Structure 1
Amino acid sequence: MKVSDFDFHLPEELIGQTPYKDRDQCRLLVMDKETGEIEHKHFYDIYDQLEKGDTLVLNDTRVIPARLIGEKEDTKGKMEFLLLKRIDKDKWQTLVKPGKRAKIGATFVFGDGLLKAKVIDISDEGSRIVEFYYEGIFEEVLDKLGEMPLPPYITEKLEDKEAYQTVYSKNSGSAAAPTAGLHFTEELLERIKEKGINIVYVTLHVGLGTFRPVKVEDIENHFMHSEYFEISEESAKVINETKENGGRVICVGTTSIRTVESSSEKGKVIPGSGWTNIFIYPGYEFKVVDALITNFHLPESTLLMLVSALSDREKILNAYNIAVEERYKFFSFGDAMFIK
C-alpha cells in the first residue's frame, strides 16, 4: 500500500487556526464504518450516538509548554529547543534549532539563567539529548519559561494556553494535545455519565512524531516513533467488562486507540505501562476497539492510515472529500468525526 493512496485535496482555508469558544459547538460528521453512510451533526449530538453500556476511553495526558527560547552561553546566539521525550529526571530528548550550534558539550541559557542546558549526546536521527540544570521544581520552571508547542500548520498565536488542553487533562508529559478530546466540556461528560455510559482514562504522552511525514513510498516500511503509555487496572477492568457484556469500546482520539490496542492480548486489555510504536494501517485487525471519535487528519499521515483501518480507505476518503465540500474545519482546532 502506497503513501499516495492516502492523499486528498485540502484547501488551506479549511485548516482550523483558532479553538472553538464553545468546545462542543463544532460540527460532527457521523459515519457508519460498515456502510459508509454519513450524517451531519454537531458535537453535542455525540450524546445521542452513545448507548448505555458503551465505554468511552479518554487520554488524560496534559501538554507541557515544551518550546523553550534561549541562547548559546558563549556566543549569545538565539536557540529554540523543543522537548520531545523525558529520558530521566533532568534528561530530555529535544529538537534544537539551529542544530549545527548544538554540539556535544555545548551549553545554553534560558530566562536569565533560571534554566541551563548541556548537550550530552546526539541521536541517530539528529535530536539532542540534553541535561537541564535549575533550582526548584522543573515543571514550575518550565511553566514560567516555556511556550505551548502548537502544530506547524497553526500560524495564529494561542491566547489561552488552556484552549490546547482537554478539560480532563491531568498527567503532564505531551508535546501535542490529544485533540479529539478538545471538543468535550465537563457538562457534556457529566450528561454522558448520567446516561449510563462508562468513562475511563488512559495516558499516552503524545510526541511530535505525530506530525512527522511518512517518507517511504511503501507504508509498511515506515517506522513509528515510540510514546509512553499507562493503563490502570480499573480502566482495563471496565473495558474488558464492556466487551464481555456486548457494549462498544469507543476511543476518543488515535492516541487512545494506540494505547488500548498496544495493551491488548487475545481480546483483553492488560493493565500496565511501557512504550509503544504500534503502527495501525489498513489490514490491521482490531482486538478491542469498536468505534472512534477523532478529528480530521493530514493527507498521507499515519493518523489517516489508522482511521482507514477502522473502516476502509475508500469510505474514509469519501467522507473526507464530503467534509471538504461541506467546509468542515480540519486538524487540531477543526471539527470532529465519529466512526461508528
Structure 2
Amino acid sequence: MRVDLFDFALPQENIALRPAVPRDSARLLNASSSGHLSDHLVTDLPQLLSPKDILVFNDTKVIPAQLEGRRGEAKIGATLHKRVDLRRWQAFVRNAKRLKIDDVVEFGDGVSARAEEKFDDGSFLLHFLGSEPVEVLLGRAGTMPLPPYIASKRDIDARDVEDYQTMFAREKGAVAAPTAALHFTDRLIAALTEAGIGQETLTLHVGAGTFLPVKVDETDDHKMHSEWGRIEPEVADRLNRARQNGGRVIAVGTTSLRLLESATGEDGIIQPFEGDTDIFITPGYKFRAIDGLMTNFHLPKSTLFMLVSALMGLDTMQAAYAHAIAGGYRFYSYGDSSLLLP
C-alpha cells in the first residue's frame, strides 16, 4: 500500500507536551469497526469492557538512553536502540558523518564508548568502555529519551523521570515508554479488578526505531527494526484459557499487541515467547491473538497508524482521528487514548 494513504494533518496545538494529571483523567475515544465513536475518560474503562476480559500490559522500564558527547571537537548525540550484549548497544547517532569506526565518544562523567560497527540503516554499534555496568554509566550520563516531538519543544526535566514511566515498569531495557499504559493508576486497576477484568504482563523492550519516520513510498519496502520480548508460559496459558472461556484479550499499547501477535500461530493459540520480533502490521493482516487494543493517537504515516488501520479499517481510523482532532484530543506519547474494539 502507498504510505501517503496514512497521512493526515495534525495541528501543533493537539500535540501533548505533558501528561494529564492525574494520569487516569485523560480522555478516551471508544471506536468500533462499525464506525461508532463515543467520548469518555480513561476512568470509564471498567464500564467499557466486560467481565472475563483481560488487559495485557508491557512491563518494560525505560532507561536513560539519550546521551550527548564529543569526539574531539565534534558534538555527537546517541540514542540507544537495542542491547546486543552486556557492554554493546546499537544506537542511532546524531552528526553521524563525524563518527568513524574505532572512534571513541566521550559522554562525560567518565562515560565513553567506542564505535565498533556501522549498520546499513546508519546506526552504530557502541561498545561502552570500562568495567562498570552499562546501567550505572547510563545513570550518570544519560537522560530520559523523550520523543523528538516533545524534546524539540521543551527541555527534559525531573518530572519526565516519573511521567515517562508506567506503573508496571519492572524490566529495564526500553528506550521508549509503552505509552498507553501511562494512563493507569492504582485506583483504576482496583476498579478494573472489581469489575472482573483481569490483568497480565509481558515484556517488550521498545526501541528508538518506534520514532523513525517511514521514508519509503510503499509499505512493502519498509524495514522494521527488531525488538526483544518475552511472554512467560504461565501468562500464555492464562490468556488462552481466558479466550476459551469467552473473554477478550485487550492489548494495552501497540507494543503488547505486536508481541502477542508474534507469539501466536494460525491456530490462534498464544505460545510462550523469548526473542526478537520485527513484525510489521498493515491492512490485510489477520489478527490472531488480540480482540481489542487500547492505544494513544499516533503520528501521520507511521507504522503504528498503519497497525491501528489494519485492526479497525483505514476509513474507520481516518474518521476517528478527524473526530479526535476536531474535539481537541491530545496526541502522541503524553496525550489521550483510544479503545479500539473491532
- For the aligned pair, the TM-score class normalised by the smaller chain equals over 0.9
* 2:317 equivalent to 1:316: yes
Maintained 8 Å contact 1:18/1:156? no
Q: Which residue of 2 aligns with 1:248?
A: 248
2:126 is matched with 130
Q: How does 1:263-282 map to 2 (within 5 A)?
A: 263-265=263-265, 266-282=267-283
State which drifts further: 277-286 or 155-164.
Answer: 155-164
- Displacement after TM superposition at 1:191 (Å): 2.1
* Identical residues among aligned pairs (%): 45
- Tell me the CA shift for residue 210 of structure 1: 1.0
Residue of 154, 157, 174 corresponding to 1:156: 154
Q: In 2, Cα distance between the equivalents of 1:317 and 1:192? A: 30
Unaligned runs of 5+ residues in structure 1 are: none
Q: Give a deviation string over 1:2-57, Cα, whole Å, max 9, x none.
A: 11111111111111111222100011111112x11011011110111121111110
AA partner of residue 22 (structure 1): P
Residues in 2 aligned to 1:209 and 1:138: alpha-carbon distance in whole angstroms: 21
Q: Which of 80, 84, 87 is equivalent to 1:83?
A: 80
- Aligned partner of 1:96 in structure 2 is 93
Q: Which residues of 2 match residues 156-305 of structure 1 at below 5 A? A: 156-159=154-157, 160=159, 161-265=161-265, 266-305=267-306
Contact 2:263–2:270, Cα closer than 8 Å, also in 1: yes
Within 2, Cα distance between the matches of 1:96 and 1:283? 34
Question: For residues 180-209 of structure 1, what are the alpha-carbon distances to aligned partners after superposition, in whole Å with 9 as ceiling and x for unaligned?
Answer: 111001221122123222111011111111
Q: Which amino acid aligns with 2:219?
A: I
- CA offsets per residue over residues 235-291 of structure 1, 9 Å max, x none? 101110011111110000101110000000110111020111111111111112100
* 1:5-154 correspondence to structure 2 within 5 Å: 5-33=5-33, 35-72=34-71, 75-113=72-110, 115-154=111-150
Query: What TM-score comes out, normalization by structure 1 length?
Result: 0.96
Q: Give the structure 2 partner of residue 336 of structure 1.
A: 337
Q: How far apart in 2 are the matches of 1:67 and 1:259? A: 25
2:75 & 2:176 partners in 1: Cα distance?
24
- What per-residue deviation string (whole Å, max 9, x for no partner) do you get for residues 130-163 of structure 1? 1102343321221122111111111223431110
Residues 290-319 of structure 1: CA deviation (Å, up to 9, x unaligned): 001000011111101101111110011001
Tell whether the 8 Å contact from 2:79 to 2:208 is kept in structure 1 after alignment.
Answer: no
Structure 2, gaps ≥5 residues long: none
Q: Secondary structure at the match of 2:149?
A: coil
- Given residue 3 of structure 2, which amino acid in structure 1 is its aligned partner? V
Query: What TM-score do you get using the length of structure 2 for normalisation?
Result: 0.95
Quick one: distance in 1 between partners of 2:50 and 2:109?
A: 55
- State the one-letter code of the partner of 2:100: K
Q: How many residues align?
A: 336
Give the aligned CA root-mean-square deviation in angstroms: 1.2
Measured in 2, the distance between the counterparts of 1:77 and 1:305 equals: 38
Task: Read off the aligned partner of 2:227 and give its amino acid letter.
Answer: E
Q: Distance in 1 between matches of 2:200 and 2:319?
A: 31
Is the 1:263–1:269 Cα contact (8 Å) retained in structure 2? yes
Q: Give, in whole Å, the separation in 2 of the partners of 1:66 and 1:246.
A: 41
Please give the alpha-carbon distance, in whole angstroms, between the structure 2 residues aligned to 1:278 and 1:111.
Answer: 37
CA contact (8 A) 2:101 2:116 kept: yes
Is the 2:166–2:184 contact (alpha carbons within 8 Å) kept by the matching residues of 1? yes
